[in-house]
């Protein structure tokens, strides 16, 4: 699978210590909505791709005694859905790991209903929905246990 970055221990994006996987694709929908470049992760698009075997990535997570969850973010994991699903199913079925998987997306739920339907069949999936909108105040999200940047953004347990 292709990623842009892996942070083995992240405490910024979720209330539990997590492995953060930066996915490599995005439509830059937030920039389009705001009419200018606002994406805090846009520099990732210019970073080199990292090819990593899904099994290797799962083992890297499983063998880290500090992490309790995986956060998929980066650009937008929903724009690399096949790789995202392969990783999650491998983690669940091959490694029998049911730790939380948190997916940060800029899409609204109705835009990706088919993907949410697929993900809802997998245990312990949380999705953060909504585009970044500039000039809004951060608010605390109870599900994630962290602040989100825009009023329209929220997280939801989908399974």
Count Cα atoms within 13 angstroms, Cβ side, for 22.
Answer: 20
pLDDT score, position 46: 82
Taking only the tens place, the pLDDT of each residue in 16-75 is 999 999 999 877 666 666 676 666 676 787 899 999 999 999 999 999 999 999 999 989
Q: Which two tokens stand for residue 15?
A: 């209330």
pLDDT at position 78 over 70: yes
Q: What is the pLDDT of residue 39?
A: 63
Please state the pTM of the whole predicted model: 0.94
Can you say whether the dihedral through the CA atoms of 100, 130, 109, 34 is positive or negative?
negative
The pLDDT value recorded for residue 45 is 78
- The b/e string for 69-106 (b: 16+ C-beta within 10 A; e otherwise) is bbbbbbbbbbbbbebbeebbebbbeeeebebbbbbbbb
Q: Compute the Cα dihedral for 80, 87, 24, 113 and give only its sign.
A: positive
Say if residue 12's pLDDT is above 90. yes
Number of domains the chain is built from: 1
Residue 113 burial class via C-beta count within 10 angstroms: exposed 0-12, middle 13-18, buried 19 and up: exposed
Structural domain range at position 58: 2-157
The model's pLDDT over 116-141, given as tens digits with 9 standing for 90+, comes to 999 999 999 999 999 888 889 999 99
CA distance 66 to 7: 12
Where is average pLDDT lowest: 38-42, 78-82, 142-146?
A: 38-42
């Amino acid at each position: 699978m292709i990623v842009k970055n892996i942070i083995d221990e992240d405490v910024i994006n979720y209330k539990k210590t997590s492995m953060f996987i930066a996915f490599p694709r995005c439509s830059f929908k937030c920039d389009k909505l705001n009419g200018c470049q606002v994406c805090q992760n846009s520099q990732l698009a210019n970073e080199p791709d990292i090819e990593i075997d899904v099994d290797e990535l799962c083992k890297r997570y499983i063998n880290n005694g500090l992490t309790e969850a995986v956060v998929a973010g980066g650009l937008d994991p929903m724009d690399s859905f096949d790789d995202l699903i392969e990783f999650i199913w491998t983690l669940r079925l091959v490694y029998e790991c049911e730790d939380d998987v948190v997916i940060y997306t800029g899409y609204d739920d109705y835009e990706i209903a088919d993907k949410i339907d697929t993900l809802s069949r997998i245990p312990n999936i949380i999705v953060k929905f909504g585009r970044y909108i500039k000039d809004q105040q951060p608010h605390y999200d109870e599900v994630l246990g962290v602040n989100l940047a825009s009023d329209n953004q929220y997280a939801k347990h989908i399974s």
